[in-house]
Amino acid sequence: MRTLAANQPRSPEIQQLAADLSRQERARDSAIAGARSCAASKEPTCALRNARRAVALDPRNGQAQSSLRQALSVQNETNTEYFRQASGIPKPVVPTMTFDGRWSMAGRHAATPAEDDSTHTSTVSWGVPTVSKGRGDAH
């Protein structure tokens, strides 16, 4: 572009093209700088947004590609740390109802010393005879 501009008198089209190219280069450089500063401050969303903008403005630029790789690595580090912290959180305790109608926050309610005694047995009888019905004996 510079050799073309140096050899010929500056036409309005060439001047416009040079101005557009210069504007795009400044925008790309600004996006790369933004991506680097966001990556340095560990802000993956900001870094990715700026790096993708830089690559969109100049896909073949090595610095733009490098800033995108750096932004992706910052995002990976942030996600890894987030999931590492999240995996340390215990599962929520599901409340369960005990046999006597109370709610317990443990998986099973803890046995009291009286319930733990294996020699103590009791039979519950409601005074209703039990009838076993076979197949087809409805009602």
Dump pLDDT digits (tens) for 13-43. 999 999 999 999 999 999 999 999 999 999 9
Neighbours of 64 (CB within 10 A): 23
The CB-side HSE value for 34 (13 A sphere, CA atoms) comes to 17
CA pair distance 88, 123, nearest whole angstrom: 45
Neighbours of 56 (CB within 10 A): 12
| Model pLDDT, residue 109 | 44
Q: State which residues of the chain have pLDDT below 70.
A: 1-9, 105-139
CA pair distance 36, 42, nearest whole angstrom: 10
Full-model pTM: 0.54
Residue 74, C-beta contacts closer than 8 angstroms, at least 6 positions apart: 38, 39, 42, 43, 44, 47
Domain ranges across the chain? 2-79
